[in-house]
């Protein structure tokens, strides 16, 4: 599974002066072309095209051979594959991803991880619990991948109704006992959910199942888990994993668009008040160079050309000329926004990629902005 730990490792190991090969492949086995190992042909074509564009290099040849070995020997189970090869550090990694990515190849300093960073922002880690009065299923959803962690049952008796007048007292006791059993089941589910949050930490929580059982679970959630709750949904407890995943992804997408609107509104408010925010490519670069960026925000279609100083490694809004910090030469920086995103993550910041109405609102101040630490 591709998580932030793996992403950080790939980034750190590939931050050398020499180049890294990054390859994205479409390996979806639902596509006819991929069932006969068409992804191998896809990789060979991308590598052939890259070699035709680059000067003859033993390093590139070695990286390409190692990448093809990985591609030819793995068994596809996801929708896309990310291959990162850096010969000097002996980094050879292939990670399968449950989200589609367009096929592409990159030969540059540092792994090209911007598509993954954007996808991780779009698909935060969700915890999901579906419950009724006797059963509960616990899941996590990460990068479009649903994992079921527990399917628990409780010995909760069925509620019955007696009609005779002489049985009213017994009925009342039975109803009370039945409610106690349901409460015990709910507390057991909360304990399991708490354990899951410790083993597989998640950012947001969705509760589903039958309305009454889901409502009781929400009412009894402790403060720590209640703070993660974002929605309750009506969902069949016995639904297939595909059915559950589609429902959760729909909720995720709606929540993400709403959250993006709030983020951009906050940035615009800070800019209006002269607060801790900057907008525009040059201003953001300067803030990144100073280590002041808390949250980097940019539109999904935003692109920009910039440079990097060969001496102090500072970013520059121009691809050539003297560095504004040390005066040494600036060199063109491919995939500049990608490098900015990775730098912000490395300094403990966050990266938010916005789309839809939020992206349109951000275009007015330049398409890219940053909330600052100070």
Strand 91-97 with 80-86, pairing: antiparallel
> Domains plus CATH for the chain?
4-112 (3.30.960), 126-239 (3.30.420.60), 258-372 (3.30.1330.30)
Give the C-alpha separation, 34 to 100, whole Å: 13
CB of 200 closer than 8 Å to CB of 140: yes
The SS3 call for residue 111 is coil
Give the C-alpha separation, 294 to 291, whole Å: 9
CB of 315 closer than 8 Å to CB of 288: yes
Give the C-alpha separation, 198 to 29, whole Å: 34
Token pair 């190692």: residue: 66
N-terminal to C-terminal alpha carbon distance within the chain: 35
Nearest to 108 by CA among 23, 35, 41: 23
Give the C-alpha separation, 344 to 285, whole Å: 11
Q: Within 13 Å and on the Cβ side, how many CA atoms surround 206?
A: 24
User: What pLDDT, on the 0 to 100 scale, is given for residue 300?
Assistant: 86
CB of 95 closer than 8 Å to CB of 6: yes
Q: Mean pLDDT per segment of 10 residues, for the chain of length 374 residues?
A: 63 72 93 87 93 91 96 92 91 88 87 79 84 94 87 74 57 72 92 93 92 93 93 88 88 86 95 94 95 94 89 90 91 81 82 92 95 94
The SS3 call for residue 367 is coil
The SS3 call for residue 95 is strand
Please report the beta strands in 203-274, taking only residues with DSSP state E, as ranges in sequence order. 204-209, 229-234
CB of 350 closer than 8 Å to CB of 339: no
pTM: 0.61
pLDDT digits (tens, 9 = 90+) for 5-14: 666 667 666 5
DSSP 117-137: HHHHHHS--EEEEEE-SSEEE
DSSP code at position 300: T
User: What pLDDT, on the 0 to 100 scale, is given for residue 46?
Assistant: 93
CB of 317 closer than 8 Å to CB of 281: yes
Cross-sheet strand order for the sheet of 293-299: 277-279, 368-372, 293-299, 350-354
Q: What percent of the chain has pLDDT over 90?
A: 51
pLDDT digits (tens, 9 = 90+) for 215-254: 999 999 999 999 999 999 888 888 898 899 888 888 888 8
Give the C-alpha separation, 61 to 368, whole Å: 37
Nearest to 110 by CA among 334, 349, 352: 334
Nearest to 27 by CA among 100, 91, 130: 100
User: What pLDDT, on the 0 to 100 scale, is given for residue 53?
Assistant: 86
Beta bridge partners of 129: 138, 207
CB of 331 closer than 8 Å to CB of 308: yes
Strand 350-354 with 293-299, pairing: parallel
Give the C-alpha separation, 179 to 166, whole Å: 22
What sections of 54-203 are H helices per DSSP?
Answer: 58-73, 114-122, 168-199
CB of 229 closer than 8 Å to CB of 218: yes
């Amino acid at each position: 599974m591709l998580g932030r730990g793996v992403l950080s490792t790939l980034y750190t190991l590939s931050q050398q002066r020499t180049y890294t090969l990054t390859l994205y492949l479409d390996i979806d086995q639902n596509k006819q072309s991929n069932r006969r190992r068409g992804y191998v042909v896809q990789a060979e074509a991308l590598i052939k095209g890259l070699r035709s564009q680059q000067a003859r290099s033993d390093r590139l040849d070695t990286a390409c051979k190692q990448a093809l070995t990985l591609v030819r020997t793995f068994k596809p189970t996801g929708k896309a594959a990310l291959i990162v090869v850096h010969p000097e550090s002996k980094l050879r990694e292939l990670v399968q991803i449950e989200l589609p990515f367009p096929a592409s190849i990159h030969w540059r300093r540092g792994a090209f991880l911007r598509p993954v960073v954007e996808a991780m922002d779009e698909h935060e880690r969700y915890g999901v619990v579906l419950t009724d009065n006797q059963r509960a299923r616990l899941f996590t959803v990460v990068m479009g991948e649903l994992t079921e962690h527990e399917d628990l049952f409780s010995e909760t008796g069925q509620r019955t109704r007696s009609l005779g007048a002489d049985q009213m007292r017994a009925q009342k006791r039975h109803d009370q006992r039945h409610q106690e059993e349901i409460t015990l089941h709910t507390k057991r589910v909360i304990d399991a959910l708490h354990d899951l949050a410790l083993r597989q930490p998640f950012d947001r929580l969705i509760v589903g199942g039958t309305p009454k059982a889901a409502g009781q679970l929400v009412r009894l959630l402790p403060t720590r888990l209640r703070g993660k709750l974002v929605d309750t949904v009506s969902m069949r407890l016995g639904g297939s994993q595909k059915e559950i995943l589609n429902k959760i992804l729909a909720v995720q997408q709606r929540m993400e668009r709403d959250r993006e609107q709030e983020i951009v509104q906050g940035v615009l408010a800070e800019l209006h008040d002269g607060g801790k925010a900057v907008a525009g490519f040059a201003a953001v670069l300067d803030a990144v160079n100073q280590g002041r960026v808390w949250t980097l925000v940019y539109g999904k279609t935003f692109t920009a050309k910039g440079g990097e100083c060969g001496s102090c490694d500072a970013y520059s809004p121009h691809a050539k000329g003297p560095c504004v910090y040390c005066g040494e030469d600036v060199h063109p920086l491919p995939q500049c926004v990608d490098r900015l995103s990775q730098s912000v993550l490395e300094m403990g910041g966050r990266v938010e990629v916005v789309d839809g109405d939020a992206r349109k609102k951000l275009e007015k101040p330049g398409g890219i902005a940053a909330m600052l630490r100070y």
